[in-house]
Chain A
Amino acid sequence: MKTKKFVIPLTENDVLDIKLTIQKNQIIGFALNFRSRISEVWYAIYRVDTAHGYLHEQRFWINPEPIHLPRFEGMSIKYLFNFFIDEIKKNWKRYRNYYEEKMKFR
C-alpha cells in the first residue's frame, strides 16, 4: 500500500491537500484537507477522509471531532472523491468565513 500526495493552491491563502491511498494501482482511499492562511498562520478548516475504514469529515470551525457519514456507505471511492471535490468547490469560501467568524469569538 502506498500514498500519493497532491497540493492544490486555490489562492495564495487557501490550499486543498489531497492524499490518495493506492493498492495494486487502484485508489482505495483518500483524504481531502482544506486549509487557509489567516493572519499569517495556516489552519485546517475542513477535512474528509476514508481512513480507519469509514468515511468521516471534520468541520474545524465547529470542533475537530470526526463526523461519521454512514449515508455514503457502499458508494465507490471515485464517486465519493468527486462528490466531496464538488462540495469543497461549492463551499470552501463559506467554510473559511465560518472559521474566521469562530476566531473572533475566541
Chain B
Amino acid sequence: MKQTEEIKWDTIKRFFDNVFENPNAFPDNTVIFTWDEKELSRLFTKERLRLIKTIREKKPKTIKKLAEKLDRKLSAVSRDLSILEGLGVIKLEKKGRKVKPIIIKSILIFPLISIKPKTIEQYEAQKIRL
C-alpha cells in the first residue's frame, strides 16, 4: 500500500518535471489520474464512461437531455455528474436555470500496475483463466 502511494507521487513528480521543461507543450486544462486499476474501475464505471462519451459527442444542453439520451434516471445522472465534477472530469456550466454539462479538460490516465503480491498458485490460476 505504502509502495503504491510512493509510485503515485513519483509519477506526479515526474510528470511535472516534464511540464517545467516545456510548459507550452501541455494542454491548458488537464485532469491527471495516477490511480491503480481497482480505483480506476470503481470510478469509471460502464455507465459513467457512457455518460462522458455522450457529453463529448452529443453535447446535451441540459442534464435532463443528457439523462434522456442515456435512458437513465435524472437523479442517478445528477449524482454521477456531481462526483465527476468534483474530480474535475466534467464542468457544469450554469446559464440561468439551465445547467449544461461540458468537458473542457484533457484527461490523462497513468494506470498503476497492482503491486499486491500474489502466490504462484494464484498467478497460475489467473493465467489458466485467461
User: Which residues does A use to contact B, with CB under 8 Å?
Assistant: 2-12, 15, 17-18, 20, 22, 25-27, 37, 42, 78, 81-82, 85, 89
- The reply to whether A7 and B88 contact each other, CB–CB distance below 8 Å, is yes
Instruction: Kindly identify which residue among B23, B35, B39, B42 contacts A4, using a CB–CB cutoff of 8 Å.
Output: B23
Q: B8 → chain A, closest Cβ, in Å?
A: 8
**A7, B28: Cβ atoms closer than 8 Å:** no
A37 to B88 CA separation, bound complex (whole angstroms):
13
- Please give the distance in Å from B24's CB to the nearest CB on chain A: 5
Mostly, the A contact residues are strand
Given contacts A25-B22, A85-B16, contact A5 B28 (CB under 8 A): yes
Contact among A5, A10, A11, A85 for B30, CB-based, below 8 A:
A5
Interface residues of B (CB under 8 A from A): 8-9, 12-13, 16, 19-20, 22-24, 26-35, 39, 42-43, 83, 86-88, 105
- Shortest 8 CB-CB contacts between residues of A and residues of B: A7-B88, A9-B87, A7-B31, A89-B9, A25-B24, A22-B23, A8-B32, A6-B30
A residues near B88, Cβ cutoff 8 Å:
7, 9, 15, 17
A-B contacts counted at CB < 8 A amount to 66
CB <8 Å contact, A82 and B23:
no
23 A-B contacts (beta carbon < 8 Å)? A4-B19, A4-B28, A4-B30, A5-B28, A5-B29, A5-B30, A7-B87, A8-B33, A8-B34, A9-B31, A9-B87, A9-B88, A12-B42, A12-B43, A20-B23, A22-B24, A25-B23, A25-B24, A81-B16, A81-B20, A85-B12, A85-B13, A89-B9
A residues in contact with B29, CB < 8 Å? 4-5
